[in-house]
Amino acid sequence: MKKLMIGLAALSLAAGLGVASAEDQKLTVAVSIPAADHGWTGGVVYHATRAAKLLEAAHPGLKIIIKTSPDGASQASALEDLTTQGINALVVLPHNSDELTGPIKKVKSKGVFITVVDRALSDPTINDLYVAGNNPELGRVAGQYMKEKLGKADIVVIRGLPIVIDEERQKGFDDAIKGSDIKVLDKQFGNWSRDDAFKVMQDYLTKFAKIDAVWCQDDDMAVGVLEAIKQSKRTDVKLVIGGAGMKDMIKKVADGDAMMPVNVLYPPAMVASALEMTVSGLYDKVPVRGKYILDATLVTKENAKEFYFPDSPF
């Protein structure tokens, strides 16, 4: 009997709370992102979680479900599960375009607002909002800087993985240095991994007697590159350019590191921009449909402080 009383009391309390928060519209937003399989995606998870907390505090009726998936197939299943729970909007950073265009289209057919982040779908009509960094620009800015800074140089490139992002960055870089005296000695894949980039760089240093500069497309790989150069005690490498804005590398730029004077931004926090825009579209009815492309800002010693997040895991 006593138990029943307590139960009833709890129930009425819960109902009371429900009434109170009903003033704020009850909406559910799902965030589907890749699991933290390298530094950058780790940053995506961090910023998505951080933004979700802030937004839920600002909108009492809002529920944000964050789901990470280790690969494309499990992300497709996760999307089905999320849709079954009933969602109003989906913010998705797809593992790859080909595999997930279909599943996301299915979610869309249930009347869900679709925000795609970073990796474009094969069918661009599906997304209501598209938020992305600028991959060709990331390559172009790095190439442009190298051309202006070095003029004539023999350089090596460490690419990521053979996917669209990598190709876009590479093409931007190639276009920027076209017709200049920057000569690319070699391009190999470092799989966006510190350890693999370390190996590739060690082998580059064996293969080529003189290397003026390295472009490695991503700051995780820059960690391995810098260590390989340091251990080889070679002094010919004058410049290493990474990209994405990892905190350790931004700090090097801010401290005026001679070998790494600049960085090119490709912030994982873009998932937070996407989530904020999606939620303000839902609650405040501000127009957000369209494409939002972030700049690939050149980070230098002067502006580095703006982009330094010591608490972020990336």
Does 207 bind other proteins (CB under 8 A)? Our answer is yes
Q: For residues 134-193, which are near other proteins according to CB under 8 A?
A: 159, 162, 187-189, 191-193
Report which secondary-structure segment, H or E, holds 27: strand 27-34
Map residue 153 onto helix, strand or coil.
Answer: strand
Nearer to other proteins, 28 or 188 (CB): 188
**Alpha-carbon distance 88 to 268, whole Å?**
24
Map residue 181 onto helix, strand or coil.
Answer: strand
**Alpha-carbon distance 127 to 115, whole Å?**
6
Instruction: Tell me the number of residues near other proteins by CB under 8 A.
Output: 38
151: region left, alpha or beta (phi > 0 left; psi from -120 to 50 alpha): left
Does 294 bind other proteins (CB under 8 A)? Our answer is no
Lay out the sheet containing 181-189: strands in order across: 181-189, 152-159, 213-215, 239-241
Nearer to other proteins, 130 or 204 (CB): 204
**Alpha-carbon distance 221 to 50, whole Å?**
26
**Alpha-carbon distance 24 to 212, whole Å?**
59
Does 215 bind other proteins (CB under 8 A)? Our answer is no
**Alpha-carbon distance 263 to 241, whole Å?**
6
Does 83 bind other proteins (CB under 8 A)? Our answer is no
Q: Which of 29, 30, 43, 242 binds other proteins (CB under 8 A)?
A: 43
Q: Which of 56, 174, 248, 276 binds other proteins (CB under 8 A)?
A: 248
Does 242 bind other proteins (CB under 8 A)? Our answer is no
Nearer to other proteins, 139 or 281 (CB): 139
Q: Give the interface segment with other proteins, choosing from 7-15, 95-103, 147-155, 218-226 (CB under 8 A).
A: 218-226
Residues that bind other proteins (CB under 8 A): 35-39, 41-43, 45-46, 159, 162, 187-189, 191-196, 198-200, 202-204, 206-207, 220, 223-224, 227, 231, 248, 312-314
